[in-house]
Amino acid sequence: MKPEHVVSAESGGDSVAAVLGETTQPAYQLSADGDIAWWNEQFASVVGYTDEELSQLDAPDLFSTDAWDRFEARLTGSDETTYWTDKIDMVRKDGEQCTHHHTTSLSRNGDGETLTGIVSVADEDLPRAELLKTVQLATDRVIAAKTREEIEHALCETLGNAGLYRAVWVGEERDGRLEAVAAAGPETVSVDAFAGEWTSADEARPALVTAQTGRISTIRDIPNSEHPDGPREFTADHGFHAGCSVPLVADGTIYGVLTSYTDTPDRYGQLEETLLTQLGRVAGLAIGSVQTERLMLSQPRIELELRIKSDTVPVVRFAKETGATGEREWMTQEEDGTTVQYYTIEGAAPERIVTEMENTDNVRSARVVDADANLYEVRFAESAAGMLLAAGAETRRIELDPDSVTIVATAPEGTDVREILDRIREIYPETELRAKRTLSERGRRDQPAWPDSTELTDKQTEMVEAAFEAGYFEWPRDVTAEDLAERLDISAATLHYHLRRAQRQLVEAYLD
């Protein structure tokens, strides 16, 4: 019986051995005299024969006459083509003919030319259990990771070591370029070289497009695609025949791109694309979570004070004209990246405030939430607070006065302040960095000191007492903000407003 799953360098060269040793696709080798020199169990499954039966057959028994004629011409040298991808007809044991794409190449061993073929399978032919198991394992490792670096390496190592891909890597966009920060698989040494081929072609590589748009990029049969010569030739030499890039994204923030390459041109059907896309979302959520935790636990931290004074910003201009003042109370971020911020603004008519907010280019909408509390909701397509959050910084305060908007944020030491500032200036060109301070760790008090001046309004006291009695401050909460607001016959936004104001006063009193 011929050996199964064993390929040595002598069977056709180191590169061929590497490809066959890693692929999970049906693969085979044929000699010029028609022998089936090697096959794997996936190939035996496709044609329906046992290993013992295959050992008694010749290549012409498995391939259509036309297919074998083409193979023989290349093996004997009458056709000088050494590498090609084409549809090939094979004949199964039951007599049925099956057609698949075959990626084939010639190599020389001690006995002459050997033809190596890898059968491309569509998504429905993939070993689904293996694919699902691999993605589940990657998901578990990502969730368990404690740092962004661990998350990125867990993705690459789990997928790269599963034998499903030729190479897997994670890239982060920096200054308009996509740099690999983690990689795994037999061809990882080629990732940077592949990037260089795109650069020399003066075109945006598909993975970079994913980083910039947040959309999946899939290319099948790369060597025969319409992409530039450099990348196509490189992929042919290194066994990259199909590639898929998915964003690592959460709450509209793109943290990076996960890219994988396979040695078969027809890969990445709907199932595989869906699983990889979901894995990218899980990884994005995990990265966002660890960055938030890093933000909260990192010591020392830096405090940034930014100021926007330009009269070209409607909200600044109308504050100057009316004498209005205000401050941001809290914010949330939606899945599409929209930042929803809530402000208290005094000194101007509500209709004027809403109009001026909506006249700002990066504002999607604005509305009055509670006229008595002077509370407004503003939905931003892009915002300084959103960009700070994406960079791992926490916006502590945003204040509006007749002269400017002031933003105070904290970030872990070592944060690239210049990069943050440059991004914010894309929206607000007149943004100034007024101060950058290092914050020391605050010592905890054994007994809190409550200044006599700490007083809550009757409304704040009512809200805090109601929230406490209802179990709102328990973990997990006994009641949601929406349910509590309904009991009190107020809006959830109004409840949040009074609770946040009360909590801020109590915490400031404790820390001062």
| Enclosing domain of residue 420 | 301-439
Q: Do 142 and 270 belong together in one domain? A: yes
450 in a structural domain: no
From the DSSP assignment, how many helices (H) and strands (E) are in the chain?
A: 17, 18
Q: Do 498 and 402 belong together in one domain? A: no
Dig out the tokens for 240 from the structure.
Answer: 């990259």
How far apart CA 434 and CA 132 sit, in angstroms, is 51
Q: For residue 427, what are the CA distances in angstroms to 88, 393, 424, 431, 473?
A: 55, 18, 6, 9, 38
Q: Do 367 and 490 belong together in one domain? A: no
Q: Do 195 and 157 belong together in one domain? A: yes
Q: Do 72 and 132 belong together in one domain? A: no
Q: Do 116 and 132 belong together in one domain? A: no
135 in a structural domain: yes
End-to-end CA distance of the chain: 82
Dig out the tokens for 84 from the structure.
Answer: 């090609």
- Amino acid (1-letter code) at residue 142: V
Nearest Cα residue to 102 out of 81, 84, 114, 115: 84
Q: Do 146 and 292 belong together in one domain? A: yes
Q: Do 287 and 394 belong together in one domain? A: no
Q: Do 268 and 182 belong together in one domain? A: yes
User: What are the residues facing 307 on neighbouring strands?
Assistant: 406, 432
Question: Which of 439, 466, 500 is where one domain is finished?
Answer: 439
**pLDDT tens, per residue, the chain with 512 residues:** 333 433 333 333 444 554 565 566 788 888 888 889 888 888 888 888 988 899 999 999 999 988 898 888 888 888 877 767 677 888 988 888 888 878 787 876 556 678 888 886 554 444 566 777 788 888 888 888 888 888 998 998 888 887 788 888 898 887 667 788 888 876 565 666 776 667 666 667 788 888 888 889 988 888 777 777 877 778 777 778 888 999 998 877 888 999 998 887 777 887 788 889 889 988 988 888 777 666 555 456 788 899 988 777 777 888 888 888 888 887 777 767 788 888 888 888 899 889 888 888 888 899 988 887 788 888 988 888 888 888 878 888 889 888 888 999 888 877 888 888 888 888 888 888 988 888 754 433 344 444 444 567 778 888 888 888 888 876 556 778 788 888 888 887 778 777 877 877 777 666 55
Q: For residue 326, what are the CA distances in angstroms to 74, 194, 333, 401, 495?
A: 78, 52, 21, 7, 19
CATH number of residue 236's parent domain: 3.30.450.40
Residue 470: partners with Cβ closer than 8 Å, 6 or more residues away? 478, 479, 484, 487
4 in a structural domain: no
How far apart CA 415 and CA 429 sit, in angstroms, is 21
Q: Do 360 and 470 belong together in one domain? A: no
447 in a structural domain: no
What is the residue-wise DSSP string for 227-270?
S-HHHHHHHHHHT--EEEEEEEEETTEEEEEEEEEESSTT---H
Phi, psi torsion values for 318, nearest 5 degrees: -70, -30
Q: How many domains does the chain have?
A: 4
Identify whether the C-beta of residue 90 lies closer than 8 Å to the C-beta of residue 100.
yes
451 in a structural domain: no
Dig out the tokens for 183 from the structure.
Answer: 């990689």
Q: Do 88 and 209 belong together in one domain? A: no
Identify whether the C-beta of residue 497 lies closer than 8 Å to the C-beta of residue 374.
no
How far apart CA 420 and CA 405 sit, in angstroms, is 17
Q: Do 214 and 266 belong together in one domain? A: yes
CATH number of residue 83's parent domain: 3.30.450.20
Question: Which of 71, 92, 120 is where one domain is finished?
Answer: 120
Identify whether the C-beta of residue 245 lies closer than 8 Å to the C-beta of residue 257.
yes
Phi, psi torsion values for 474, nearest 5 degrees: -75, 165
Q: Is 78 exposed, middle or buried (0-12, 13-18, 19+ CB in 10 A)?
A: exposed
